[in-house]
Structures are given as C-alpha cells and as structure tokens.
C-alpha cells in the first residue's frame, strides 16, 4: 500500500513540474537571457554624492530637458564597454536598462528618432537624457545645447535587441567587430532614416589622433612672430659746423663792412 501511495505521489509531483515548466517563459535555444547581459550596468552606482538604481523593466515615459555630450568623451569607453562615437546617434540615461531602445521626440519641432541607450548620464541638474552630438544634431538641439524632449522606452524593441546581442556573450561583442549601434541601425532601425556611423579606431589610436590634432591646431593658432625692426643708432659725437671755404669768408667780410 505504501509503495502504491509513493508511486502515485511521484507521478503527481512529476506532472505538476511539467505543467509549471510548460507555463514558464524559457529562453530560445542558442540565446542567452537578457538578464545576464551587461550585469555591471544593473548595479546601484554613485555619482557626485548621489545614488542611482537602474530599473529592471522597460516601462518609462517622461518629458523634460535633454542635453548632449561630445568632444570631451569622444573615443572613451561607455558604461557598456564600447567606445563612444560622438558622431553616432545614441543616448545615455541614468536608470534605464542597458541596452534599451527609446523614441526621443523634440517637442518644439516634432522631430523624432529611435535611439539606443548604452551609456549612463546626464548627471547635471534635472536633465532626463544625454544625447550624442549626432543625435542632438538630428533632433535640432545641437546649437542650443539643451532642448525639451519626450522620451518613451520601447519594450518590445528593447527586448529583441537585448536577446540578439546576448548571443555574442555577456557584453554582446560581435565577432566581426560591429558596435551595438551598428547592429541596431542595420537590423532593428526599421525606419532606416539614419545611417550607422563609421567605426572608430581603437581608443589608444583615437587619443593619439586627438593629441596630434590638438598640437597642430595649437601651432596654427599661434600668431606668426615677425622680426622687430632695430632702432637706428644715434651717434654720440657733437655736431660741428662744416668748414667754410675761402670765397665764403670773403663774402662774409664784405657783408660785415656793409652792415656797419
């Protein structure tokens, strides 16, 4: 009797486990879970004395001020480990999951674009998103420096992109050398209005190029030094009247006689 009860119990537990397994969401074969992608970007972090906790969901829509960042960070690594290209079209956010896809709309002129969030920021005042220089130029706020925008996260696009790059490992490194932005523009930007930026050279080479350009520009900006004209030397000898000839002496003598 006990053996029968044991067998029935085992069968019941097995059926329940199979049912629960069928109801749970599983990651497709060959793909890694997006939760394991860029785990370093999900940890709470501190900047300028303030703590920020990245969110674990894609529910986000906010209207506020956007800024842009460029030359100071050009060629440096982002939070996801890639090299920042200021001429690209990407964005940085303080708490959205990395990577995320957002639609940014310029409230003033109505221009919108889908951007890949792969960096952290901005950490100034009450700004809600930091755009690359290329994105700011496209949206028309580069010259102003700041602009009022509406940022909306796109959950389905974000999940699809995260699953795709997860197959390349923890940080989604494409063996062919494509950046996240290049992958996003080629496979997930269905509008196709923006061309993927040209890849940057390695960070060390970029810094060398910047140093070289900086030195060259510095030399060009230095005004040319023209030679200063030297002053004409002044003689210390006292002035002497020229000697008068004999004929001039006779004329002076006649003038003196007539004067008297």
d(CA 236, CA 164): 91
Q: Which of 69-73, 141-145, 252-256 has the lowest mean pLDDT?
A: 252-256
* 63 three-class SS: strand
The enclosing domain of 64 has a CATH number of 2.40.40.10
Burial 26-49 (b: 16+ CB within 10 A, else e): eeeeeebebeebbeebeeeeeeee
* 3 three-class SS: helix
d(CA 141, CA 260): 99
The per-residue pLDDT for range 227-247, each reduced to its tens digit, is 555 555 555 555 555 555 556
Residues of the chain with pLDDT > 70, as a percent, come to 57
Q: Which pLDDT belongs to residue 256?
A: 63
Asked if residue 2 has pLDDT above 50, the reply is: no
Residue 27 lies in a domain: no
Residue 33 sits at the vertex; the CA angle it makes with 160 and 117, to the nearest 5 degrees, is 50
Residue 6 lies in a domain: no
Contact 75, 81 (CB under 8 A): no
Q: How many domains does the chain have?
A: 1
- Output 247 or 41, whichever has higher pLDDT: 41
The per-residue pLDDT for range 171-214, each reduced to its tens digit, is 787 888 888 888 998 888 766 667 666 666 654 444 545 554 45
Residue 107 lies in a domain: yes
Q: Which pLDDT belongs to residue 232?
A: 57
Q: Which pLDDT belongs to residue 190?
A: 67
What is the domain extent for residue 182? 39-206
The residues pairing with 113 across neighbouring beta strands, listed in sequence order, are 104
Residue 83 lies in a domain: yes
Residue 159 lies in a domain: yes
DSSP-H helix ranges across 105-202:
133-139, 155-166, 180-183
Residue 158 lies in a domain: yes
d(CA 98, CA 171): 10
- The pTM score is 0.62
**How do strand 45-47 and strand 129-132 relate by DSSP bridges?**
unpaired
Q: Which of 36-40, 69-73, 144-148 has the lowest mean pLDDT?
A: 36-40
Residue 250 lies in a domain: no
Residue 236 lies in a domain: no
The per-residue pLDDT for range 63-115, each reduced to its tens digit, is 999 999 988 899 888 888 788 889 988 999 999 999 999 999 999 999 999 99
Q: Average pLDDT, whole number, for the chain?
A: 74
pLDDT band (50, 70, 90) for residue 215: very low
């Amino acid at each position: 009797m006990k053996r029968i009860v044991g067998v029935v119990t085992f069968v019941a537990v097995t059926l329940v486990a199979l049912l629960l397994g069928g109801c749970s969401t599983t990651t497709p074969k060959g793909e890694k879970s997006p939760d394991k992608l860029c785990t370093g970007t999900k940890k709470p972090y501190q900047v300028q004395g303030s703590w920020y906790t990245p969110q674990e969901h894609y529910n986000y829509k906010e209207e506020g001020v956007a800024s842009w960042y460029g030359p100071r960070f050009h060629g440096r690594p982002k939070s996801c480990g890639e090299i920042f290209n200021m001429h690209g079209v990407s964005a940085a956010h303080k708490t959205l999951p990395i990577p995320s896809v957002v639609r940014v709309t310029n409230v003033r002129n109505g221009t919108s674009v889908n951007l890949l969030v792969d960096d952290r920021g901005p950490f100034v005042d009450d700004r809600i998103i930091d755009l690359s220089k290329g994105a700011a130029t496209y949206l028309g706020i580069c010259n102003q420096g700041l602009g009022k925008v509406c940022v909306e996260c796109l959950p389905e696009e974000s999940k699809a992109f995260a699953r795709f790059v997860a197959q390349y490992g923890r940080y989604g490194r494409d063996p062919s050398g494509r950046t996240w932005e290049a992958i996003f523009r080629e496979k997930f930007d269905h509008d196709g209005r923006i061309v993927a930026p040209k890849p940057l050279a390695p960070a060390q080479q970029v810094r060398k190029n910047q140093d070289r350009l900086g030195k060259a520009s510095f030399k060009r900006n230095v005004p040319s030094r023209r030679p200063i004209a030297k002053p004409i030397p002044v003689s210390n000898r006292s002035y002497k009247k020229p000697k008068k000839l004999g004929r001039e002496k006779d004329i002076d003598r006649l003038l003196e006689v007539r004067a008297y």
